Structure 1
Amino acid sequence: MRIGGLASGIDTDNIIKELMAAERLPLDKMEQNKTKYEWQRDAFRDINTKIAEFDKMILDMKLSKTYETKKVSSSQESAVTATGSSSAMNGTYSFEVKQLATAEVHVGTLTPENKLNLNAKLGTDYEGTHTITTYDEKGKAIEFKFEIKSTDTLNDVFKTINSKEIDGKKSNVRISYDEINNKVFLEATRTGKYNTDPIAVNNNEISFSSNSVNNLFSGLLSFSGAKDAIPAQKGVNAKFTYNGVPDLESKNNNYTLNGITFQFNDVTDKAAKLTVTSDTDAAVKKITEFVDKYNELVDALNATQNEAKYRDYPPLTEEQRKEMSEKEIELWEEKAKSGLLKGESIVTSALFDMRSGWYEKVENDGAFSFLSELGISTTRDYLDGGKLEIDQTINKDGKTKLEAALESDPASVQKLFSNSNEGTDRGLLNRLQDALKQTVGKIEARAGKGTSTLDNYTLGKRVKSLDEQIAAFEDRLKQIEDRYWRQFTAMEQAISMMNNQSSMLMSFGGNGM
C-alpha cells in the first residue's frame, strides 16, 4: 500500500494514475485489437455453422425420394392403406383382405378367491424347471427354460418371462396380470403363424409345461389344459388376394411389393382399389424449402458485406465499460461489431462461386441441363447476392415449369441436381457442395473451429502474439509505475528534509531573540 503527498501535499496517487493512463494507451490498443480478432473469429465460425446446417439439407436433396415421392389413395381407407417409396411404379392395385394376422393369446381366468399376490413367495410347490415353447422363422420349436426357487415371487417369474431373452434366445412372449378382471395374459409379441408342425396338438404358437409338484401354468395361473391349452386367440397369418391372385399370406398385417408397402387394417368389402401416383406437390415443397434455406445463407453472407463499418467505435476497454450503462455498452458494441467481415475475400469468393455454379451447364443424358429449365434462376437484383427464385408462371396445363418437370421426368430433375460424377456432368448440388467445402476450409484456416488451438489458425496466431505482447507490456508498465513511485517518494523525502531544516533554522532564530 502506497501513500504519497504527506510532505508535499501533492495528490501523488492521482497524478501517477493519470501518468499511467497515458502509458497504457498502447496496451489498450493491443487489447482492442485482440478483441476485434476474437470477434472476427466468432463471425467466421458463425458462417461455418450456417453452412453445416445447410449442408444437411443438401444431403436430403440428393435422395431420389425428394423428387419421386409417391402418394397412394385407397377406395377402402379403413381397411387397406399404402405408402410408396421412390421406386414404386404408378398404377392401380387390387387388394382383397380376407383375414388379418393376429398374435396368439392365452388367458388364465382366476376365481375371486384365487386372486394373485404378485409379491408373495411361491414356496416349494412350484420349485423346479418350467418351459415355454415358441417357434422360429423356419417353424422350428424353441424351448425357453427357467428355474423357479422357493424364494421367488410371481413378479420375479413375470420379469424373467418378459425379458427380451431367456438363455440367450429371443422369447417372443410376454405375460401380464389384470388385477381388476383377475385374469392372466400370456401372449405372443408378434402376429402370424410360425408353428407349421402338422402333428402338434392344437398347432399352438405358445405351449408351456412345468417340472414341479404343481403345474405353474395350469395350476396357479389357470391356463386350462396346460401344455395343449386352447388359446383365446390363435396366431394366424393375414390372408389376401392381390390383383386377382388368391391364397396369399403374410405373417404381418402388411405386404411389400414393387416399392409399395400395403398396410392391412381390416378385412375388405370385396376388393379395394389402391392408386399410386407421383406426389409432385411434395417434391415442389421440398425444393421450395431448399431454395428458401439457400437464400437465408446468401442473406447471411451478403449482410456481412453490406454492414456499415464504424471506425470510430473500437472495442471498449475494461475501464471504459465501467463508466457506461449496459444499454450504452450494447449500442456501442453493435456499431463496433458492424462490418467485421466487410470486404473479406473469403466471403465475397463464396458468394461468387455459389452464384456462378447455378448458371453452368450439366452435361448428362437426362432431359434437363440447366437450372432455368426447371423455372429456377437467380434474381435480377444484383444486391440480392445471387438468391434463387422459382418462376410461378402457370402454363396452359395449369402447372409451373417446376411442377411440369417433376411430373414428366423426376429422375432427370434429380440428375440435374445430384449427379455425383466429376467433370461437366457433375450435378448442381455437388458443385454447390464443392464451393461450400472450399469456403469452410478457408474459414477454418483463418478462424479455426471449436477444437482448434491458437497455433492452428491465422487469427489464433495473431491473438497468441498479442497475448505475449500484452503480458510483456504489462510487465513494463509495472516497472514504469514503480519508477514513478520511486521518483515521487524521493521528492517527498527531499521536501521532508527541507521542511525539517527550515524548522531548525526558525528555531535557532527564535532563541537568538
Structure 2
Amino acid sequence: MASITSSGLGSGLNIESLISSLMAAEQKPVTLLQTKESKETTKLSSWGQIKSALSSLQVAAQALDTRSEFVSYSSSIADSTVASASVSSSAIAGSYSIEVSQLAASQKIKSAGYTSTSTAITSDTLPKTLTLEIGSTAAGVFTADSNKTKTITIDSSNNTLTGLRDAINASKSGVSASLINDGGSSPYRLVLTSDNTGTANTFKLSGLSDFSYNPATATGSGLSTVSNAADAKLTVDGIAITKSSNVVTDAIQGVTLNLSKTNVGSATKLTVTTDTSAIQTKVAAFVSAYNAVASVIKVQTSYNADTKVAGTLNGDASVRSIQSQLKSTLTSMVGNGSTNRLAQIGIAFQKDGSLALDSTKFQAALADTTKDVAGLFAKDTITGVTGIASQIATKVASMLGTDGVVTTRTAGINSTIKNIDKRIDTLNDRLVSIEKRYRAQFTALDSTVSSMNSTSSFLTQQLSALSSLSNYSSSN
C-alpha cells in the first residue's frame, strides 16, 4: 500500500519504514483471516473428494439394487458364420437348434442403359407424375400401404437419370436411388433399392410410360429386376419362422439373432448360459467403490502421532457418521434366510478396514441354488426385504441430497468462506484509511520537525554571532 513519497526529507525521519512497520501490525487480522480461509478451502476440497467417491459408490450400488441386475446371460453359436446372437436379461438359459433356409433381401431393380446421365428418361408430354408405392407382395398381388405412397413431378428440370435419382432420394419414400456405370455402349443405369428387406417392403412405380415397374409380376417399362424382395426363413427347434428382416428379435425370448448365411440340412446350435462373470464384475465394482470411499475418509481424518500432523477433516463428526453408517450397513444381516450376510458369499472386511471379494467363494455361492445371492444385495418387492446394495444406494442418495450431510457441510463451509471474504474486504478498506491517516500524521510531524530544525538553526546562528561580537568587544 506504500507509495513513492518525499516524506522525511525535511525531518530526516525514515517515514516509509515507520509506516510499513505500523501497517504490518495492522495487517495481522487480515493475515489471520486469510489463513483461516485457506483452511476452509482445503476442507471444501476434502469434502469434494468424499462427494465424488460417494457418487461412484451410489452408481455401483444402483447396479445391484434390483433382482434383474443379477440376471445376466451370454450366448454362443456353434457355427458363427450362420448367425450371431445377443441376449438380454429376459432370456432363459438353454440350447436351441437353428437352421436358416433363406435370408431376407431387399427389392432391387435397374433401368435400361443410357448413353448419358443427362439423357431424357421419358418421351411423355411433361409434366408428368411418377407414383412410388411401398407395400407387400404375396401370391402375385401387390398391395400398397396408403401411408407410404409418394408422388414425384417429372418435368424438364429432372427428366434425366441424375434428376430422377435426386428426386427419388429427396422424397424419403423408403427407396434409395443410385447411378451405375457398367462400361458398355450405353453404360449409365439407375438402380433403385428398397431401404428395408422383406416382401412387406416391395415397391411399385407408375405414371411414366417409359419408367414403370410392378413387383407382383416383375414386369414394367424401362425397368427390370435385379433381385426380388425376400423374407428370412428359419427353423428354431424345428419350428418354422418367417421374418422380414435378418435381425430377428422375437423368435427366442430375450435373444436377438443376426442371420448371415443359410445352412439348410446342417443345423447349428445356439447356447444361452448364465453369465456369472458379469455379475461378479458388478459386485467387484461395488466392493472397489466402497474401498475408495473408505480410503478417502481414512486420509482426510488421519493423524500422525510422530509428526503431529492431522488430516484436514480429522475429528469431523459428519465424516465419522458417514463411515459408521456405511460400515454398519455392510455388516448387517439381511432377512431371515440361511444366506443373510456378505461374509457368507465371500465378501468380508480386512484388518485394514477395506472390503475384499473372494472370487472362488462368490462363484460357488452363485452356483449354489440354496443361496439367494441377489437377495443379499437387491430390494425384494414381494417380501419387502431390502438388500445391502439397495440400502447403500438409498443412504448415499440421502447423504448427497439437498438436506444431506455432504450438501449441508459443503454449504456451511462455502458460507464461512463467503463471510471471511466480506470481513477481509472490510478490513482492507479500513487499512487504506489507517494508512492515509498515518501518512497525514507523519507528514505533519515531518513539517513540524523541519520547522523546528530551521528555527534551531537560526537561533544557533544568532547566538554564534552575538558571541563573536562580545568576544571582539572584550578584546578591544
Aligned twin of 2:260:
265
Counterpart CA distance in 1 for 2:20 and 2:76 is 83
5 Å-filtered alignment, 1:69-468, equals 69-108=72-111, 110-111=113-114, 113-115=115-117, 127-135=127-135, 140-141=145-146, 142-148=148-154, 150-151=156-157, 158-163=165-170, 166=171, 171-178=173-180, 182-194=188-200, 205-210=202-207, 215=210, 226=220, 229-246=223-240, 248-255=241-248, 256=250, 257-269=252-264, 270-306=266-302, 308=304, 339-363=311-335, 368-379=339-350, 381=351, 383-384=352-353, 387-392=354-359, 400-409=360-369, 412-419=372-379, 425-440=385-400, 441-447=404-410, 457-468=411-422
Q: Deviations over 1:296-337 (max 9, x none)?
A: 22212222122659999xxxxxxxxxxxxxxxxxxxxxx8xx
Deviation at 1:144, TM superposition (A): 0.6
Give the direction of change, closer, same or farther, for the CA distance of 1:235–1:62 in structure 2 (3 Å limit).
farther
Secondary structure of 1:300's partner?
helix
Cα distance change on mapping 1:209 and 1:422 into 2, 3 Å: closer
How far off is 1:151 after superposition?
Answer: 4.4
Q: Displacement, 1:97? A: 0.5
The whole-number CA distance in structure 2 between the counterparts of 1:341 and 1:179 is: 75
Secondary structure of residue in 2 paired with 1:61: coil
Tell me the TM-score normalised to structure 2 length: 0.82
Deviation at 1:110, TM superposition (A): 3.1
CA contact (8 A) 2:179 2:189 kept: yes
CA distance in 1: counterparts of 2:226 and 2:371, whole angstroms: 51
Structure 1's unaligned 5+ residue stretches are 196-204, 219-223, 313-334, 393-399, 448-456
How far apart are residue 236 of structure 1 and its match?
A: 0.8
The alignment status of 1:469 with 2:423, answered yes or no, reads: yes
Q: SS in structure 1 opposite 2:104?
A: coil
Aligned to 2:58: 55
**Pairwise CA distance, 1:46:** 2.7
1:39 partnered with 2:42: yes
**Root-mean-square deviation (CA), in Å?**
3.5
Shift of 1:232: 0.8
Give the AA of the match of 2:320: T
**Residues in 2 aligned to 1:180 and 1:61: alpha-carbon distance in whole angstroms:** 59
Equivalent pairs, count: 442
Q: In structure 2, what is the Cα distance between the partners aligned to 1:445 and 1:280?
A: 40
Check 1:127–1:13 CA distance in 2 against 1; reply closer, same or farther (3 A cut). farther
Instruction: Tell me if structure 1 keeps the 8 A contact 2:104–2:244.
Output: yes
Summarize the Cα distance change of 1:103–1:7 in structure 2 as closer, same or farther, 3 Å threshold: same
The 2-side partners of 1:5 and 1:136 are apart by 105
Counterparts of 2:442 and 2:18 in 1: how far apart (Å)? 10
Q: Which has the larger radius of gyration?
A: 2
CA contact (8 A) 1:278 1:407 kept: no
Q: Secondary structure at the match of 1:20?
A: helix
1:28 to partner: Cα distance = 0.6
Structure 1 pair 51–307 and aligned structure 2 pair: CA distance change class (3 A): same
For residues 260 and 364 of structure 1, the distance between their equivalents in structure 2, rounded to whole angstroms, comes to 36
Given the two structures, how large is their TM-score scaled by the length of structure 1? 0.76
Q: Unaligned regions of 5+ residues in structure 2, if any?
A: 138-142, 470-476
SS in 2 for 1:57: helix
- Report the Cα offset of residue 506 of structure 1: 5.0
| Cα separation, partners in 2 of 1:306 and 1:12, compared to 1, 3 Å | same
Deviation at 1:435, TM superposition (A): 2.5
Q: Give me the whole-angstrom Cα distance separating, in 1, the residues matched to 2:379 and 2:254.
A: 23
TM-aligned CA deviation for residue 437 of structure 1: 2.6
**Partners of 2:211 and 2:448 in 1: CA distance:** 109
